[in-house]
């Protein structure tokens, strides 16, 4: 009421001829599904109660992010390698003065006086206290008390809210509105943790324990890499040697409670990488109350971290590997929590966390870490590899776009961000497929039919997505002998996004794929419009890794292995560039797609799922193994030739 009266008055003041019309409100956010743990209570709200309200402002210049990133990472750009400082990134994307002004004016016209507004230091939030009555009038909504049916905890929320049409572009989101607090997230967390972890499966135990493990030269040779992958097999496959200069940086991300065991690293070194001294550990950055826990030990607790760290440490040795151990033992963490630690402007901006999906620290609700969340406290490494992932359909598209833009900023800062592409072929985590067209709604079946279920962040165009290959049976490993798509235990995640448009760096590779090898599937299975992002970008071996886990050597499978191996090769290239006085390579994809001959093309095998054979690895880029596996000397020559 108050709002439209004031708007009419100011409209009259501006022009005596204009017919005053109240601004049209448009719905800004609406709850998509009712969360079944919360019930709306019918009790009357005290409409004089005061609540703290926060408006997340829209960042500037995001529409130019792609071009900014190409400017520093396209091989033909004059500015290749001239990465931006975090300060320049912050200033470029901070909300514009016009945005701040538009939102403040709207508040003032709505009766929330200037003196009540507080602008955050990052300029990304406007905060103020309002009565429930004022909030309802401002947002054309109705608040209710919702009760958590498990805990009895109460929460103030609404079903949807509206803002004037001309304000919408300036606002990311407003709290408290449709979002629930951390209690909901903790319940979701259990599900998230299951779906998030790429499954790496121990299918057979090679030997019972360290005392009886045979000497590597007896058991593991280059002749049996098709049965047992070791660091030496990977060096032979991709034609690289160990590091020497120790001048670059490489981060491996792990999410608590998953953790490595030093005893497993030592066991791995003594069997497979004997020049590395027992006790050699990663440099550890603990994020948001994380611990490298040793209290529960099992393949699920230790398999992922042991695999990632053993191979990263061995392949870049004597360079150091940094472990980003993220999240406490109670709340855990999401990719946004890591991004908050790497970029201070993200944790405070309207583009940041959503308590439904991200852990909120300090954790006052669930008895976890009570300290402040890590916010810009970690300097991003030159290469960051993560072997965890979601289904694209697990998360709202707007949330994914915000997070993906953050990877764009890391690319601008000179970091190569790598994610494994998933282990279930065209299906999603756990082999599940979508029940609805375009995977809308995030409901899944058991995977014998349905719509292909792409992975996130694999489909974000600002990361490098790494798929999996395997050595052909009874084949010697050499850099000239192509592998095939991985079909042992796991299938390389690949396909096409339902959220992200095709980036230009990939357009010609994808067009060639469709013109020469058009799949027979229809739009029922996947988005075949040729206008969406295809993944993975590249591949590396993902089968039969010898890994020390919980005191013995196991065989492990997954794109979980492929990503840290590809990241190690990029780290060795960075080391050479640094030695030549050049910057780290940063965002990789434009250079990779411009130089397909630096890869060994993979042309056999497929990535079955959802009751189909999936896609097939063919000549050129394909949605199974991307451009293929790296040829280190060729890739090194490509990157060393750039400024």
Ligand X SMILES: *[C@@H]1O[C@H](CO)[C@@H](O)[C@H](O)[C@H]1NC(C)=O
Query: Nearest 5°: phi and psi at 40?
Result: -80, 125
Give the residue with the Cβ less far from ligand X, 415 or 574.
574
Sign of CA dihedral 369, 373, 379, 382: positive
Binding string, residues 297-326; x marks residues near ligand X by CB under 6 A = --------------------xx--------
How far is it between the farthest Cα atoms of the chain?
93
Which range touches ligand X (CB under 6 A), out of 85-93, 124-132, 247-255, 402-410? 124-132
Q: Do you find a cis peptide bond into 362, omega within 30 degrees of 0?
A: yes
Distance CA 542, CA 564 (A): 10
Q: Are 269 and 277 in contact (CB under 8 A)?
A: yes
Which range touches ligand X (CB under 6 A), out of 56-64, 238-246, 412-420, 583-591? 238-246
Tell the smallest beta-carbon distance from residue 435 to ligand X (Å): 15
Q: Are 371 and 289 in contact (CB under 8 A)?
A: yes
Give the residue with the Cβ less far from ligand X, 299 or 521.
521
Token reading at 338:
């890591």
Catalytic residue selected from 308, 331, 392, 487:
308
Give the residue with the Cβ less far from ligand X, 209 or 318.
318
Helix axes 86-93, 397-412, angle to 10 degrees: 140
| 3-state percent breakdown (helix, strand, coil) of the chain, nearest 5 | 35, 20, 45
Tell the smallest beta-carbon distance from residue 554 to ligand X (Å): 24
Known catalytic membership, residue 264: no
Residues 260-299 touching ligand X, rule: CB under 6 A, are 275
Give the residue with the Cβ less far from ligand X, 5 or 46.
46
Give the residue with the Cβ less far from ligand X, 7 or 123.
123
To the question of whether residue 467 is assigned a binding role by annotation, the answer is no
Q: Are 383 and 418 in contact (CB under 8 A)?
A: yes
Give the residue with the Cβ less far from ligand X, 273 or 337.
273
Out of 41, 88, 118, 166, name the contact with ligand X by CB under 6 A: 118
Out of 486, 532, 539, 592, name the contact with ligand X by CB under 6 A: 532
Other C-beta atoms lying within 10 Å of the C-beta of residue 352: 24
> Of 167, 162, 166, 154, nearest to 138 (Cα)?
162
Q: List the end-to-end C-alpha distance of the chain, in Å, as a whole number.
A: 61
Binding string, residues 46-85; x marks residues near ligand X by CB under 6 A = ------x---------------------------------
DSSP 57-120: EPPSSGGGHHHHHHHHH-TT-TTTT-PPPHHHHHHHHSPPHHHHHHHHHHHHHTT--GGG-EE-
Give the residue with the Cβ less far from ligand X, 165 or 245.
245
Spell 553-565 as b/e; 16+ CB within 10 A means b.
bbbbbbbbbbbbb
Q: Are 223 and 418 in contact (CB under 8 A)?
A: no
Out of 61, 105, 149, 531, name the contact with ligand X by CB under 6 A: 531
Q: Is 14 exposed, middle or buried (0-12, 13-18, 19+ CB in 10 A)?
A: exposed
Out of 82, 104, 219, 438, name the contact with ligand X by CB under 6 A: 438
Which 3 state secondary structure label does DSSP give 12?
A: helix
Helix (H) or strand (E) holding 192: helix 182-196
Please report whether residue 221 would count as binding ligand X according to CB under 6 A.
no
Residues 462-481 touching ligand X, rule: CB under 6 A, are 478-480
Give the residue with the Cβ less far from ligand X, 56 or 380.
56
Tell the smallest beta-carbon distance from residue 223 to ligand X (Å): 16
To the question of whether residue 622 is assigned a binding role by annotation, the answer is yes
> Of 635, 606, 599, nearest to 622 (Cα)?
606
Binding string, residues 334-373; x marks residues near ligand X by CB under 6 A = ----------------------------------------
To the question of whether residue 620 is assigned a binding role by annotation, the answer is yes
Out of 230, 239, 465, 562, name the contact with ligand X by CB under 6 A: 239
Residues 491-530 touching ligand X, rule: CB under 6 A, are 523, 527, 529
Catalytic residue selected from 29, 181, 304, 373:
304
Out of 633, 637, 640, 643, name the contact with ligand X by CB under 6 A: 633
Distance CA 577, CA 320 (A): 17
To the question of whether residue 181 is assigned a binding role by annotation, the answer is no
Out of 38, 106, 128, 260, name the contact with ligand X by CB under 6 A: 128
Token reading at 296:
């529960």
Catalytic residue selected from 73, 334, 554, 560:
560
How many residues interact with ligand X (rule CB under 6 A)? 21
Known catalytic membership, residue 160: no
Token reading at 258:
């998953």
Give the residue with the Cβ less far from ligand X, 127 or 219.
127
Distance CA 562, CA 311 (A): 10
Out of 31, 37, 104, 127, name the contact with ligand X by CB under 6 A: 127
Tell how many helices (H) and how many strands (E) occur in the chain.
18, 25
Q: Is beta strand 538-541 parallel, antiparallel or unpaired with respect to 464-470?
A: parallel
Known catalytic membership, residue 340: no
Tell the smallest beta-carbon distance from residue 478 to ligand X (Å): 5
Active site residues: 304, 308, 560
Annotated binding residues, as ranges? 601-602, 620, 622
Contacts with ligand X by CB under 6 A lie at: 52, 118, 127-129, 239, 242, 244, 275, 317-318, 438, 478-480, 523, 527, 529, 531-532, 633
Q: Which residues are annotated as a binding site for Ca(2+)?
A: 601-602, 620, 622
């Amino acid at each position: 009421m108050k709002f439209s009266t004031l708007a009419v008055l100011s409209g009259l003041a501006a022009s005596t001829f204009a017919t005053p019309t109240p601004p049209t409100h448009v719905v800004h956010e609406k709850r998509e599904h009712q969360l079944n743990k919360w019930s709306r209570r019918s009790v009357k709200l005290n409409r004089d109660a005061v609540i703290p309200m926060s408006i997340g402002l829209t960042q500037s210049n995001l529409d130019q992010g792609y071009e900014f990133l190409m400017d520093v990472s396209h091989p033909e750009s004059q500015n290749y390698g001239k990465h931006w400082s975090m300060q320049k990134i912050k200033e470029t994307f901070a909300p514009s003065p016009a945005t701040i002004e538009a939102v403040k004016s709207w508040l003032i016209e709505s009766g929330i006086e200037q003196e009540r507004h507080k602008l955050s230091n990052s300029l990304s939030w406007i905060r103020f206290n309002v009565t429930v009555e004022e909030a309802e009038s401002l947002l054309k909504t109705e608040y209710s008390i919702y009760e958590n049916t498990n805990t009895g905890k109460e929460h103030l929320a609404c079903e949807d809210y509206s803002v004037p049409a001309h304000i919408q572009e300036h606002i990311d989101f407003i709290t408290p509105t449709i979002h629930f607090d951390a209690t909901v997230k903790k319940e979701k967390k259990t599900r998230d943790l299951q779906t998030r972890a790429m499954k790496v499966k121990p299918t057979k135990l090679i030997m019972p324990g360290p005392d009886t493990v045979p000497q590597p030269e007896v058991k593991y040779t280059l002749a049996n890499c098709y049965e047992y992958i070791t660091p030496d097999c990977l060096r032979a496959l991709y034609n690289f040697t160990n590091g020497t200069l120790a001048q670059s940086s490489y981060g491996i991300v792990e999410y608590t409670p998953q953790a490595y065991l030093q005893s497993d690293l030592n066991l791995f070194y003594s069997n497979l990488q004997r020049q590395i001294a027992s006790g050699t550990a990663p440099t550890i950055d603990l994020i948001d109350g994380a611990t490298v826990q040793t209290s529960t030990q099992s393949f699920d607790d230790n398999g992922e971290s042991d695999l990632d760290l053993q191979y990263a440490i061995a392949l870049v040795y004597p360079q150091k590997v940094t472990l980003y151990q993220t999240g406490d033992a109670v709340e855990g963490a999401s990719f946004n929590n890591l991004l908050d630690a790497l970029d201070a402007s993200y944790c405070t901006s309207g583009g940041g966390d959503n308590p439904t999906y991200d852990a909120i620290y300090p954790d006052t609700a669930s008895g976890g870490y009570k300290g402040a969340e890590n916010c810009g406290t970690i300097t991003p490494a030159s290469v960051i590899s993560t072997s965890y992932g979601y289904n694209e359909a697990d998360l709202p598209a707007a949330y994914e776009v915000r997070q993906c833009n953050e990877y764009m900023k890391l690319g601008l800062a000179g970091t190569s961000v790598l994610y494994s592409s998933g282990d279930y072929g065209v299906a999603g985590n756990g082999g599940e497929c979508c029940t609805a067209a375009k995977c809308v709604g995030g409901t899944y079946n058991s995977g014998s039919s349905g719509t292909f279920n792409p992975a996130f962040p694999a489909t974000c165009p600002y990361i490098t997505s790494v798929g999996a290959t395997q050595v052909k049976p009874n084949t010697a490993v050499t850099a000239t002998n192509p592998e095939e798509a991985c079909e042992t235990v796991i299938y390389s995640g690949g396909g096409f996004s339902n959220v992200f448009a095709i980036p230009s760096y990939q357009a010609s590779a994808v067009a060639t794929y469709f013109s020469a090898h058009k799949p027979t599937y229809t739009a029922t299975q996947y988005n075949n419009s040729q206008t969406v992002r295809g993944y993975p970008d590249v591949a590396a071996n993902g089968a039969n890794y010898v890994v020390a886990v919980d005191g013995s050597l196991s065989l492990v499978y997954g794109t979980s292995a492929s990503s840290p191996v590809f990241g190690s090769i990029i780290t060795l290239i960075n080391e050479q560039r640094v030695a030549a006085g050049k910057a780290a390579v940063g965002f990789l994809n434009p250079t990779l797609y411009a130089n397909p001959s630096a890869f060994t093309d993979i042309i056999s095998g497929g990535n079955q799922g959802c009751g189909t054979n999936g896609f097939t690895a063919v000549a050129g880029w394909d949605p199974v193994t991307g451009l293929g596996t790296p040829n280190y000397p060729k890739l090194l020559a490509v990157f060393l030739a750039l400024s």
